[in-house]
Amino acid sequence: MSQSILQLEPQSIWKQFADLNAVPRPSKKEEKVIAFMMDFGENLGLETFKDEVGNVIIRKSASRGFENRKMVTLQSHLDMVHQKNADTEFDFDVQGIQMYVEGDWVKAKGTTLGADNGLGVATIMALLKSTDIPHPPLEALFTIDEETGMTGAFGLKGGILEGDILLNLDTEEDDEIDIGCAGGIDVTAKRNYNEKSSVHGDIGFEIQVKGLNGGHSGIEIHKGLGNANKIMNRLLYSGSKYNMRIGALEGGGLRNAIPRESWCKVNLDKTQEAAFLDELELVVTHLKKELKVTEPKLSITIAPCKPSKKVMGLGVQEKLIKSLYAAHNGVYTMSALIPDLVETSNNIARVQVKDGEILINSLTRSAVETAKMDLANALKATFELAGFEVDFKGSYPGWNPNPDSEILKITKNIYKDLFKEEPKVVACHAGLECGILGQNYPNMDMVSFGPTILGAHSPDERVSISSVQKFWKFLLKVLGETPVK
């Protein structure tokens, strides 16, 4: 890690962020970071405990003169998306994030940075450790597994939290105050296939799609970014007319990350080689022209390789390629209530063909529950027609906006006073935990805000240093003006 990070202001936040990022914390593997956070609270002499699913709660009494204020629950999630560039050697289970400073940005070397939501966690840690910041009674809620199921928020039972106001620190534009978010559901399609022996005389080709931006499948789904799985499938669709046979396919990864890379190995009759390559080169030309603005670094290579010994049968292969072509990816509908807000979308996040098994993972999001299920059912019907078994799991609700919120009015006024402009009061297409937490805590008044983070869920993730300073100034002012009980 670059030591210059520790010199950044506010040092109290960056010191905690550096300590946090030294601890491995991929989703569903949060044991080390849970222990880290428990030790942090206990070493400060604060009330610290863990609930039955692994969420960590730490409470701190009000500073002098703030004892009559409403308790504020500060909430962020401990886990991070683990994505890396293909040429980066990194083990998220054992290594800490390697950070560096570039201009106004803090970045990571070839991996996700973990600013989502590590900056929120570090900010709360700085407040808990402080001795000179005026504040109301504080309750820190550090949830687990937000990125791959929100199981921490789902598992938090009613009656544990004592706060009246919840400040979620997981919004990624510093001029926004968020009061609503989309819900989501995981759509998984699976089927088996019989492997066939390759035909004598076949030749092999390895197709690679790389260089895409990737990013957050909610926040950035409207940008028209390339999806590596859809791009690869378009190549395979065009190539299939030449008796091409798939040997193996691996594209994408986590459901909440727009897939950046895909790899496929195919066999081909040597007599079809020239026509096959001409066809695919034409498709590559079209794709690069279509995506030249949004994906200028798109790279597609088609290189000879050793042919696969086993390949997919033509019947199943046709159903796979056609169902992926038909399956919706990207924005489905825009909100009729909130200008420029995506209402419903889908991300075809992962496609894997290996050893007689096909796996397709998607994440469907919507601010409207019935619309979410409508698109999920459309995907289900598409894949079932191709012989897949389709499961729905991990459904979580959206967060309904409350424009009359007391804490919203306070934060809006403070923002305007500090920065001499109106904040953007928004609902986002990402999944925040507020909607889930609100099910067991319906009377808790909630807003979400945070520093500017770009490229979340991709190795291009970066956080603005000046934005962290702005966010810290805003948060301290909010804590100093919370309402009385």
Burial (CB count within 10 angstroms: exposed 0-12, middle 13-18, buried 19+), residue 133: middle
Three-state SS for 214? coil
- Rounded to whole angstroms, the Cα distance separating 424 from 293 reads 27
- CA distance linking residue 294 with residue 170, whole number of Å: 26
In which residue are the tokens 């001409």 written?
278
User: Facing residues of 60 across strands?
Assistant: 138
Structural tokens at position 252: 């994408």
Q: How far apart are CA 131 and CA 112, in angstroms?
A: 32
CA 192/CA 302 separation, integer angstroms: 27
* Nearest alpha-carbon partner for 186 in 441, 316, 359: 359
**Which distant-in-sequence residues (6+ apart) come within 8 Å of 84 by Cβ?**
90, 92, 110, 111, 112, 459
Single-letter amino acid code for the residue at 271: T
Residues 363/186, Cβ–Cβ less than 8 Å: yes
DSSP annotation string for 54-92: S-EEEEEPPPTT-TTBPPEEEEEES-B---B-TT----T
Q: Which helix (H) or strand (E) holds 116?
A: helix 115-129
Angle at 10 between CA 453 and CA 25, to 5 degrees: 50
**Measured between alpha carbons, how far is 471 from 117 in angstroms, rounded to an integer?**
14
Q: Label residue 399 exposed, middle or buried (CB < 10 Å: 0-12, 13-18, 19+).
A: buried
Q: Is residue 19 annotated as a catalytic residue, yes or no?
A: no
Q: Which residues contact 434 (CB under 8 A, 6 or more apart)?
A: 166, 168, 181, 399, 446, 448
135 contacts 62 by C-beta, under 8 angstroms: yes
Catalytic residue check, 79: yes
Q: How far separated are the first and last CA of the chain, in Å rounded?
A: 44
What burial class does residue 283 get, using C-beta atoms within 10 Å of its C-beta: 0-12 exposed, 13-18 middle, 19+ buried?
Answer: middle
Q: Which of 30, 79, 116, 178 is catalytic?
A: 79
Q: Is the dihedral of CA 240, 242, 247, 251 positive or negative?
A: negative
- Spatial contact of 360 and 348, defined as CB atoms under 8 Å apart: yes
Active-site position among 30, 139, 145, 146: 146
Strands 257-258 and 310-312: unpaired
Annotated catalytic sites, by residue? Answer: 79, 146
